[in-house]
Structure 1
């Protein structure tokens, strides 16, 4: 009832303004004598537009003032986001347009053709305002969902971008229906012939949407994850995943974009679980010259028994070897008879004990020293363990300290580290 009274008063004001306009234009300027009806129509249209702009300004300011008071009085976050994205501004546009549409007939009562065209213009404006309102609501929902749960970011962005595309296409079809005076079903039926073309054009969009839903449901990859894509030789942090592409910030601070579908169709290494467990693997080998390998004689064993980390190991193993050789009645004068300790074996045990006692090496994960396949350059001895931190700088420091120590210690066991020297250098 109150709204009807306001609209009625606004209508009376517009009617009085129209009469004043007719008196001024038709009599003071005597435009009828000139026969310029076109100028009269243009003048009315411009005058009508000016009135709508004034109403738009008044309603927009009023709605923003009221909504700001309401938003400031609440403790919710979502209403602040709706206000910042100007969702309520889109609602304010409906009031002046509705008033203008109601009074088109009374303002242009002598020009039926103008009324028809203006009604089409107003219908198109209503469609555009609805589209603007939907896009702003979708943006707000995406911000709200993103701030609450990063795992849902992918799905929300995919859904929001897809919803925007569908809304834009639907509004374009409605505008075409308005301009051609056809119903929407007829327009949609006529599009059936170009369905294959539409699917081809939006192939990446469809694949990106499906990929986003799969990644969000399985939580495979999300924004902020540290990933590696061997196919493209990319390693970095995911900063955004949208409907079409994913943006990855490389460690050299460059940005690489890859199709979203590639994140599920190709091999992707995700280091995020490793970072959550706060561990990181060391898997690196030292290449030794096989010619430096030899059996340890009694003199060497006495020397190595003073090394704290392998002292107990040497004593235990030597007793086992001596007992075995005695039971088997083996002539130990010849070196290849029986069992003997070697310098490479003692080094391997030293490295294993060194890592197991290292305060920065995880004791709950796999820890081993193993021989890799022999190469023409020597025997690789691989260290396989995990640091108790995943931070890159600390990890590199731990790894460097470990290899600094072991490479230096290798000389004490008379081992020679292979260095491949290229010809011409």
Structure 2
């Protein structure tokens, strides 16, 4: 980026100070983010939603209801901001570190929410089949969401404190008793549902 600014200075015959260059860079990143947001949410997703509502295909309507593509679009926006931060800002500077950290936190959060939406889509579709009613799918998916949230939470905390996730994971052993106590009911419900389903002990009607 500094080379590009130097070329602009040579061509225009002016000298751009550090503050001005930073304002220009953040302006470019902001405008790009706004343009991408408008294209994705106001054009692409609105068009998709209109077609999904008009369509008779159930899976399209379920995807729209669970906002899967909305969350994927936000994830993509975070990736684009992160790429711009790496491209425009000098590595190791405070501005680059702050922007990349915020972008990566954004990506992790919306990637997790996208997975949650995908699981909800699968669950809603599965519940349309009679055979799925005999399976504890809701409990299983809640367990997957819980594990995913814990893992992403560890990654986000490790990013903020600048430490390896392995250090935080190694400390989970001491928190196991607390986690078991807090999430006792969901865990017991999941185990009971799996046992009932595996032994065919419960049926509708």
TM-score bin (small chain): 0.7 to 0.9
Deviations 1:46-67, CA, capped at 9 Å, x for gaps? 7633531331121223432564
2:105 to 124, 135, 155: 124
Matches within 5 A, 1:385-424: none
TM-score by length of 1: 0.39
Correspondence 1:191 to 2:177: no
Task: Name the residue aligned to 1:172.
Answer: 153
Q: Distance in 2 between matches of 1:93 and 1:53?
A: 12
Change (3 A) 1:48 1:135: same
Contact 1:87–1:133 (CA<8 Å) still a contact in 2?
Answer: yes
Q: Distance in 2 between matches of 1:126 and 1:151?
A: 33
Matches within 5 A, 1:49-88: 49-65=30-46, 67-68=48-49, 71=52, 76-88=57-69
Task: Name the residue aligned to 2:196.
Answer: 215
1:41, CA displacement in angstroms? 5.2
**Could you say which structure has the larger radius of gyration?**
1
RMSD of aligned C-alpha atoms? Answer: 3.6
Change (3 A) 1:95 1:199: closer
Question: Which structure has the highest strand share of the two?
Answer: 1
Task: Name the residue aligned to 1:48.
Answer: 29
TM-score by length of 2: 0.75
Q: Distance in 1 between matches of 2:27 and 2:131?
A: 50
1:171, CA displacement in angstroms? 1.0
SS of 1:93's partner is helix
Q: Distance in 2 between matches of 1:94 and 1:134?
A: 11
Contact 1:120–1:178 (CA<8 Å) still a contact in 2?
Answer: yes
Contact 1:82–1:88 (CA<8 Å) still a contact in 2?
Answer: yes
Q: Distance in 1 between matches of 2:91 and 2:60?
A: 46
Change (3 A) 1:181 1:213: same
Change (3 A) 1:40 1:111: farther
Contact 1:146–1:153 (CA<8 Å) still a contact in 2?
Answer: no
Change (3 A) 1:67 1:95: same
Matches within 5 A, 1:8-157: 37=19, 45=26, 48-65=29-46, 67-68=48-49, 71=52, 76-109=57-90, 112-149=93-130, 152=133, 155-157=136-138
Deviations 1:314-365, CA, capped at 9 Å, x for gaps? xxxxxxxxxxxxxxxxxxxxxxxxxxxxxxxxxxxxxxxxxxxxxxxxxxxx
Change (3 A) 1:203 1:110: closer
1:169, CA displacement in angstroms? 1.0
Deviations 1:366-386, CA, capped at 9 Å, x for gaps? xxxxxxxxxxxxxxxxxxxxx
Deviations 1:150-173, CA, capped at 9 Å, x for gaps? 763661110121111111111101
Q: Distance in 2 between matches of 1:211 and 1:50?
A: 52
Unaligned runs of 5+ in 1: 1-14, 226-271, 273-425
Change (3 A) 1:153 1:88: farther
Task: Name the residue aligned to 1:205.
Answer: 186
Q: Distance in 2 between matches of 1:62 and 1:95?
A: 15
Change (3 A) 1:106 1:213: closer
Change (3 A) 1:153 1:161: farther
Question: Which structure has the highest helix share of the two?
Answer: 2
Higher relative CO (CA 8 A, sep ≥ 6), structure 1 or 2?
2
1:111, CA displacement in angstroms? 8.1
